[in-house]
Amino acid sequence: MLIVHPAEHRLHHPQRENYRGRMVDAFEIPARADYVLHAVQQAELAPIIAPDDFGLAPIAQVHSARYLDFLQRFWGQWSEQWRKNFPQRDAEPVDEAFPAVWPIRTLRDDVEPANLAAQLGLYSMDSGSPFTAGTWAASLSASQSALTAARHVLTHGGGAFSLSRPPGHHAGRDFFGGYCFLNHAAITAQWLRDQGLARVAVLDVDYHHGNGTQAIFYDRADVLTVSIHGDPRTEYPFYLGHADEQGQGAGLGYNLNLPLPVGTGFARWMQAVEQGMAQVRAFAPQALVVSLGLDTYGNDPIAGFTLQTADYPVLGAAIRALDLPTVMILEGGYAAAELGNNVVAVLRGFEQGRA
């Protein structure tokens, strides 16, 4: 196994976020990756390398041109505008920007407003995902990290883990949300397709439904998307992730959602994961991308399942038993101090697995 880790994740360091209408300490912070890096170093699981640069082309295969343009220029324009409006202050005005207005039903999303606050709404799904000075650079590094892991498993088989952030699975073709800006899992699956693999499966075990990944591949039969998650009737992202979403057109039958109620424990959860894995096996993919969120953990501050650290090796072993070239990408998991142990538990299970 190989672990890929970009130091640039740290450039995205939000202080605060809007959570249920209140400003609270941000959950998706650099300390998360620091804890994981420390734990995988201590465990001596695998070599840890920095990502290579795959450029923007693989990212532009998934995200729209105007969204990528927005991500790259937004902070520069936003902070410049702020300095003009408040010339007496010379530092960065605020540490993070949040949307406040959106083109919901009946409003137009085809014309990009010149107003930057309005652009922030056009390209987002919620007000809880801080956009910071380093958001683009960190997100780009996370995509490059996932691609580096993908190239490793394409060449050598086995597994590779992208120890990167911010996460990606909520980001759609042209929007951010749920702390995600670039959909690294989707970019990786598409890149593997573009390398000539006919079928790629994405298995999303994050607590939250992978709405971005589902939507990106919803009408396609070449990428199977499977997500096990908290029921969207009560859990973020609320507006997608129901069991009746099975894909459309050529993609009908190539999306599987397994929503579970708040309070679900390991036995029931693992049963659903096995059900998802049966679908993956039936699809007979040439590679597997795992959206590895660890917010299923019982002590997670923003999620509702009750998994324990000792449960995670079972997940890792089951992933290994699929016997596919496997790219695992870090998604959520906000019990930061325990996140490292939980990641190591999955990776140990993967290493020792192959039941």
Residue carrying the six token digits 């010379």: 90
- Binding ligand Q9C (rule: CB under 6 A), the pick from 13, 208, 220, 229 is 208
Task: Give Dmax (Cα) for the chain.
Answer: 65
Query: CA-CA distance, 218 to 136, in Å (whole number)?
Result: 26
Query: CA-CA distance, 153 to 151, in Å (whole number)?
Result: 6
Nearest to 270 by CA among 223, 232, 305, 231: 305
For residues 157 to 196, the per-residue mask of contacts with Zn ion, x marking binding by CB under 5 A and - elsewhere, is ----------------------------------------
Tell me which residues in 223-282 interact with ligand Q9C (CB under 6 A). Answer: 236
The minimum distance between CB 14 and ligand Q9C, in angstroms, equals 13
SS3 47: coil
* 214, two tokens: 């589902």
> Within its chain, how far is the Cα of 19 from the centroid?
19
User: Which one of 149-157, 175-183, 242-250, 251-259 is the stretch in contact with ligand Q9C (CB under 6 A)?
Assistant: 175-183
The minimum distance between CB 332 and Zn ion, in angstroms, equals 3
**Quick check: is 170 catalytic?**
yes
- Binding partner of residue 184 among Zn ion, ligand Q9C, none, CB cut-off 5 to 8 Å per kind: none
Catalytic residue among 9, 13, 152, 170: 170
- Residue 191's CB is within 10 A of a number of other CB atoms, namely 25
Query: CA-CA distance, 131 to 267, in Å (whole number)?
Result: 37
- Binding partner of residue 17 among Zn ion, ligand Q9C, none, CB cut-off 5 to 8 Å per kind: none
* 128 near ligand Q9C, judged by CB under 6 A: yes
Cβ–Cβ under 8 Å, residues 246 and 263? no
Closest to ligand Q9C by CB, 46 or 302 = 302
- Residue 26's CB is within 10 A of a number of other CB atoms, namely 23
The minimum distance between CB 206 and ligand Q9C, in angstroms, equals 5
Mutual angle of helices 135-156 and 65-85, in 10-degree steps: 150
Tell me which residues in 89-118 interact with ligand Q9C (CB under 6 A). Answer: none
- Binding partner of residue 51 among ligand Q9C, Zn ion, none, CB cut-off 5 to 8 Å per kind: none
The residue whose Cβ lies closest to ligand Q9C is 332
Residue numbers at the binding site for ligand Q9C (CB under 6 A) = 19-20, 128, 167, 170, 178-180, 206, 208, 236, 293, 295, 302, 331-332
Catalytic residues: 170
